[in-house]
Structure 1
């Protein structure tokens, strides 16, 4: 019986090792799914490209919120700015978008390495410059890092980073900062809890309705 347990143990280790080997970087498999989809039917050009982390990833019905706009959602997992930089050739560069909308940065602050605002801003600057190197004039919009009950301890960092990103984008006539941050608080200054699902991090339909109203005025309609 003991021998059998050891065999099972080594089999599990083998498969765990293979799983890691098959995914050399975080979210590798998510990105490969996008590539597979594109190989079957490549998305048409001139769509609004949504990129970023799970607040966009989980917005599966995003096109229903914005009728009349064609949105290509290429957000993946709980990605960080460093992940968008790593996978720019897969999720940003191929699509020739009409506009790019970003939600990312929150997970950078929540990571184990506990980066400073300066470090996250360096990452954002790198991503911004890489996007502009490929798409110099494509309209770009950044959705502010949101407040959520489970990450209330990070609000000072979110607030400072949002302020600095807004200042940076203000220098670009083809960029906009979409400030959803203040819209997600109650009048008493507490974070709205009824707009989140059970994990107190990701939003429900009520939360996305707030985002819809904030984002829609910034979306670029297709030329007629």
Structure 2
């Protein structure tokens, strides 16, 4: 059954904000049929910063799977975890989400609740799987939301600190210049999405957490 058929069968229970990803989910399902994901891989999931990441170029020796879908919120990754995470039985899940949530006026507390749901959904079925949460990044375009960004990061960092197999990747300070503002060379012209230099900052912070 395709996601479209599945959604049709349960359309009354699926909010439109979540159901709008059906085309992306069908693409992922087709990709899985063409090339099944091996158990023990590293699944990257979340919004456009994940979707636009060239994982093969960045991690040539890593069995990495990209399941990012641009514009998504953390709640979307929670909902679709049983389609794009759990069936793969990954050893590690790298998640970046929260940026769009803050833009949509979700409070740090609401985003924390969504993260707690995400963590529980993964670990209820895969307790040994490591979850790496990449902090919501400071960006040029959304610098006006930095207080909410940092409040969200603080709550999720505290949650990870007390949760087994859950680690917080802090990329805030490394993305700032001497003036305390986001470094321009890390961002594309839109001031939101990252250049290769931006991803290089992330990789430096993430790599130590990917080692078993």
Q: Is the shorter-chain TM-score for this pair beyond 0.5, marking a shared fold?
A: yes
Give the one of 166, 170, 173 matched to 1:175: 166
- CA-based RMSD of the aligned residues comes to 1.6
Structure with bigger RCO (C-alpha 8 Å, 6+ apart): 1
Q: How does 1:35-54 map to 2 (within 5 A)?
A: 35-54=29-48
1:169-205 Cα distance to aligned partner (Å, 9 max, x none): 1112322111111111101112111111111100011
**Structure 1 residues not aligned, in runs of 5+:** 1-20
**Structure 2 residues not aligned, in runs of 5+:** 1-10
TM-score if structure 2 supplies the norm length? 0.88
1:129-156 Cα distance to aligned partner (Å, 9 max, x none): 1111121121111111000111111111
- Alpha-carbon separation, structure 1, partners of 2:166 and 2:208: 13
TM-score if structure 1 supplies the norm length? 0.83
- Alpha-carbon separation, structure 1, partners of 2:61 and 2:35: 21
Give the one of 31, 36, 41 matched to 2:25: 31
Q: Which has the larger radius of gyration?
A: 1
Please name the residue that 1:17 is paired with: none
Secondary structure of 1:168's match?
helix
Q: Does 1:129 align with 2:120?
A: yes
Please name the residue that 1:148 is paired with: 139
Q: How many residues align?
A: 197
Secondary structure of 1:78's match?
coil
Please name the residue that 2:63 is paired with: 70
Give the one of 86, 90, 107 matched to 1:93: 86
